[in-house]
Amino acid sequence: MTGIISGYINRAYKELRGEILVLPSRTVALLFCLTLFLLPLITSEPYTLRILIMASIFAIFAASWDLLSGFTGQMNFGHALFFGVAAYTSALLNLHFSLPVWLSIPLGALGAVLAGLVIGVPCLRLRGPYLALATLAFPLILTGILFVFPGITGGELGVSGIDRLSSSRVTDYYIVVTLMISLGFVMWKITDSKTGIIFHAIREDEVTARASGINTTKYKLLAFCLSGLFAGIAGGLYVHFMRIAGPSTLELMLSFQAILWAIFGGIATIYGPIAGVFILYPLLEFTRFMPEWRMLFFAVIVLLVLLFMPEGLITRVRDKIEKECPRCKLRNIATRKSCRVCGVDLG
Amino acid sequence: MIENIIINGLIHSGVYALLAVGFSLVFGVARIINLAHTAFYMLAAYLIFTFTSSFGLNLPLSVILSVVAVTIIGLLSYKLLIDPVREHETTVLIVTIALAIIIQEVMLNRYGGQAGGIPSLVSGYTEILGVKVTNQHLLTFGVALIVLLGTWALLLKTKVGIGVRSAAQDREVANLMGINVARIGMITMAVAVALAAIAGALVAPLFALQPHMWMHPLVMVLAIVVLGGLGSIKGSFVGAFILGFAETSVVFAIPEGSFLKGAVALSIMLVVILIRPQGLFGVAFEEER
């Protein structure tokens, strides 16, 4: 019995050394997850936890934008639509049908998937900037519709009086952070699979992808639905954490912010947007001591970073500390002279 | 009510047309979606306010000064911020939105959430069709029309205009024909920003100045340009009138539902591009080389 357990531990240790610790980026990712999990043991200050919870929610949101727009190149300027639809769906289901949290969030996400289908089908005909600007319109139109029915949606004030995610802040934190890490991992796995390669192909050259026998329509719709699903989960979590679903969940600025976080970190990576949110969101919060200047400071930092690293911060840093083996395409730490698997000279 | 719709519709459409034509020109020639376009419009209005209230200059002089200043700022930001990242289309979006936020925040810090208004250039009113129209409104529409006609003439009749249009049609072939595409890009940006600044100068006496006043026009301009067809000047013009009138009609026909004005205009845009994916006058872009 102990032999089996020690065998497992041994294997886990080998995996850790062979797959994670060999690459600085994976080590950093592991450290990041560990830090997030161990943080409440050090501090349970509500304000810090709140910032990290919000950052985690927005990390899911930004990564879901990346899944759609970064990978398939279908520029979505109205990503807040998914967030807002899920937020309002969860809130209304929870309030009027008193559905528990673990049911209202998935149903809200389902609503966002439907929204993805509703905008995905007509938008299949549009491409490039036309698609971007058409998607921009949807959340703004929905905002107008919300104001027509103030009895149901609360109009300007939104829907309030929603159940909390859980009874304590620390539990909230663990729920959101666990979901963020696992959903981030799922998204990364999706983009690493065959489907992900097809998404890449659609972005690079849609006509060639179709000529290679790929049903691009199907995959584009799939991307819209998947993106809607993850953004919807983020929207549901947000609504149960903030306990209010207002028109701000559909705002133009929210859509732009998702794009901003994703491009800042580096698109078509999934981990880029997550890192982007975890850098930029706390930065904006911690500069509260200079309230009039913080947005300006924020915009200037984003501008300067993008001017010098137009491909995104994380993508650039990763290219600096790791290089790709020319023969087997595996990544190696930049200090190695030869590839860790095939031994080819990295020069 | 009808008279109100017509007169206010014409004025709003004129301002939107000024903004949309410039935006469309920049997109056509440089393939840049400049989300800071309407921020320049806001900047012009604020500069006029600064020149008149802080420096005590008279109004016509401060209008001219602010249009020139905004054009220079626009050119500098194009050269220093947008041009270096042009290869990365998505990065351009964020750079321009960051630029817009910077302008907004500087104005917010300098003047607070609500700055005062600007006196009208001309006073009094004229009665047309039984509706009292202030002369400032008439002037706004008149100037908008003249400037638009001037732009039209510039594009169609001059050598520079032919260069701009050919660069919009095909950048590489235009380059091969000996047109300095980089210079044409600068000229286009200058014209576009100047148009936005003129639009800002025109609305400055009509609307209250707010640091967020660029948001709604930005959405409208994006909708207009898509409706008319990206890169098509005629399309932007027609689109501006369709959406300008749609918006004004909603405001005057159902005053209690005026928050719907944006939603109605955007729905019209959606319906049109779902039927005609390249917009009203757009040519389907061939695959970019």
Q: What is the ipTM of this complex?
A: 0.84
Q: Model confidence at B285, in pLDDT bands (50, 70, 90)? A: low
In a domain, A52, yes or no: yes
Q: Are strands A159-160 and A331-333 parallel, antiparallel or unpaired?
A: unpaired
In a domain, A182, yes or no: yes
Q: How many domains, chain B?
A: 1
pTM: 0.90
- Using the predicted structure, report yes or no on whether residue B59 has a pLDDT greater than 70: yes
Chain A hits for B226, CB-CB cut-off 8 Å, are 129-130, 133-134
In a domain, B235, yes or no: no
Contact yes or no for B226 and A303 at CB 8 A = no
Radius of gyration of chain A (CA): 21
B153: closest CA of chain A, how far (Å):
28
Residue A270 near residue A184 (C-beta atoms within 8 A): yes
In a domain, B102, yes or no: yes
The helix (H) or strand (E) run that includes residue B127 is strand B125-128
Q: Model confidence at A23, in pLDDT bands (50, 70, 90)? A: confident
Contact yes or no for B98 and A130 at CB 8 A = no
CB-based contacts of B186, cutoff 8 Å, min separation 6: B75, B78, B79
- Using the predicted structure, report yes or no on whether residue A180 has a pLDDT greater than 50: yes
Tell me how far CA of residue A261 lies from CA of A138, A314, B260, B281, in angstroms: 21, 11, 30, 35
Which residue intervals of chain B are DSSP H helices? 2-30, 37-53, 59-77, 89-111, 135-157, 159-169, 171-176, 181-203, 215-228, 233-253, 261-275
In a domain, B127, yes or no: no
Residue A71 near residue A269 (C-beta atoms within 8 A): no
In a domain, B270, yes or no: no
Contact yes or no for A134 and B273 at CB 8 A = yes
Q: How many domains, chain A?
A: 1
In a domain, B247, yes or no: no
CB-CB: which of B81, B225, B266 is closest to A307? B81
What is the chain B residue with the closest CA to A265?
B91
- What number of other Cβ atoms are within 10 A of residue B18's Cβ? 31
If you average pLDDT over every residue of chain A, what do you get?
90
Interval A182-208 mean pLDDT: 93
B191: closest CA of chain A, how far (Å):
22
In a domain, B252, yes or no: no
Q: How far apart are CA B221 and CA B200, in angstroms?
A: 14
Chain A hits for B262, CB-CB cut-off 8 Å, are 140, 144
Interval B49-72 mean pLDDT: 88
Which one is predicted more confidently, A340 or A36?
Answer: A36
Output the six-digit token pair for B28: 């056509």
- Best residue of A130, A204, A206, A294 to probe chain B, by most B CBs closer than 10 Å: A130
The helix (H) or strand (E) run that includes residue A221 is helix A216-242
Q: How far apart are CA B139 and CA B142, in angstroms?
A: 5
In a domain, A292, yes or no: no
Contact yes or no for B273 and A148 at CB 8 A = no
Contact yes or no for B274 and A306 at CB 8 A = no
Domain that holds residue A142: 42-256+266-277
B264: closest CA of chain A, how far (Å):
7
